[in-house]
Chains A and B, each alone.
Chain A
């Protein structure tokens, strides 16, 4: 079953001479259990693609469906609920609240989404898997870039979403950590049947992906299909 379905999605910014087309007639389907990489240069439309799936902005034309729901028809409150319950965002920076320690980042999520989150045991297992089980009382400013990013990944997974949207999640990680994150995303998609969409420059993640798309000037093309 298609978890994410984009049909003839076009996104344009500006008008007349200043008009820029960020996405051109994109058709895309992602199913549960798939790790999909979107690769492309800066300004190619990767982030636009990601934010349209996350319902942070609307396409100029076309339809976007998440779990068979046309998300363009959702109200602001319903959009918030969609992102809170079904989507986990992992961003390049500012992922963590600077005045909350690692443990409190999860407490915050727990206070907003009161049910359906990972259990204490599952969270501990995840933190161990990410090798951040011993830094729970540290603040983001006391962590390395790699540790921060791994906490952000754990934070996104904590609410148990069906979809993970990651924007350059390995930007601040060394090779060892990139490999660990790649394996983690692969494991999440395969074992927990999540749909993981990763927008990245990092070609080292390609080997973990089920599908790799190239995006250039807003045109999405399939490069690899396992």
Chain B
């Protein structure tokens, strides 16, 4: 530690430049991770808020809630207890005079089932009749307010916003919760269809008819359009950035170590154990990455203060801590090559003979 800190203190510019590079990479990784998480939340926050384990969909719906329709017979074939809830999903355009239209997902629910009971409102109250809806809080950014009257699609029927709910997003669109009885007209389906799906909180819940199928929550999420591709892309970008940071730490430390080989050779001749030089290199790497990470976290925090609310970024401390830990592990891996060089230092190369 003594050698490491003394060198950093003495070679301020050199190490400041390395720290700056680590800062930029860590900042980029933090922002990308937050963006990936934010986008994932816009796909799935509604699904996760329902907190279910299985979903019964029409077997021909390709695991898509928006493509699924269940008939009254199919629903009555399933046992519906207090651990099951019916969902009617319809894609709608929300309109209000003097406000921008918003693409949204209408989710029809029943007031005696758990989705309705578990809704976490940030403002207002739960819908009490077919004309009342609660909407995702992102509507407030689009100029919608409590008690506003809105129309959905081309229907003339008006709905009143009576509440705002947090974390209600599905497939990149905000959710509007209303009564299931309002769903069939919005979906424009025949009266034989009573819902899009049944969700269940039971560990084991199977489809009881041939034309329906049971899926896990994860299966439903993975089949969301673009969800897997988007997550894979972000994961690859973050992985590449970690690899780039590994290369940067390795290259810089290796070059610096090679420059110090004559001094290390003399220190080894003087009986300074190689372990001290190795520890110095590792502590130097951890210090540099630690400083870069701290600054990266600071700049990420600054970004959260100034970034527009419409930007789909979500900051998850445990996830960002995991990313930070990965960068520290990466930096330690980056010392392997310099350490190899240190362990092979031969004082004879400097002294001669």
Write the residues of chain A forming the contact surface with B, with a CB cutoff of 8 angstroms: 22, 45-52, 54, 56-57, 77, 80-85, 87-89, 91, 93-100, 104, 107-109, 111-113, 139, 156, 167
Contact = CB atoms under 8 A, between A and B. Distances in A.
B350 A94 contact: yes
28 contacts: A50-B351, A51-B347, A51-B351, A51-B352, A54-B269, A56-B269, A56-B347, A56-B348, A56-B353, A80-B268, A84-B270, A84-B272, A91-B266, A93-B262, A94-B263, A94-B266, A94-B350, A97-B3, A99-B11, A100-B6, A108-B2, A108-B272, A109-B270, A111-B2, A112-B271, A112-B276, A156-B270, A167-B351
A108 B272 CA distance: 9
B351 A81 contact: no
Contact of A83 (B2, B263, B271, B351): B271
B348 A51 contact: yes
Contacts of B7: 99
A112 B272 contact: yes
A91 B269 contact: yes
Contacts, number: 85
B6 A99 contact: yes
B157 interface: no
A-B pairs with lowest CB-CB distance, top 4: A84-B271, A83-B271, A47-B353, A99-B10
Contact of B270 (A50, A51, A77, A89): A89
Contacts of B352: 47, 51, 167
Interface string B257-284: 0000011011111111100100000000
Interface-centre pick from B262, B266, B350 (highest chain A CB count, 10 A): B266
B351 A56 contact: yes
B271 A82 contact: yes
A167 B265 CA distance: 14
Contacts of A93: 262, 350
Contacts of B271: 80-85, 87, 112-113
Q: Chain B contact residues (Cβ within 8 angstroms of A): what range?
A: 20 to 34
Contacts of A80: 268, 271-273
Given A54-B269, A94-B263, A108 B3 contact: yes
A47 B270 contact: no
B58 to A, nearest CB: 71
Contacts of A77: 273
Given A98-B263, A99-B6, A22 B270 contact: no
Contacts of B272: 80, 84, 108, 112
Interface-centre pick from B11, B262, B267 (highest chain A CB count, 10 A): B267
Given A99-B6, A107-B2, A111-B2, A48 B353 contact: yes
A83 B270 contact: yes
Contacts of A156: 270
Contacts of A49: 353
Contacts of A82: 271
A139 B10 CA distance: 9
B353 to A, nearest CB: 4
Given A93-B350, A99-B9, A99-B11, 8 more contacts: A56-B269, A83-B270, A84-B271, A89-B269, A94-B262, A112-B271, A112-B276, A113-B271
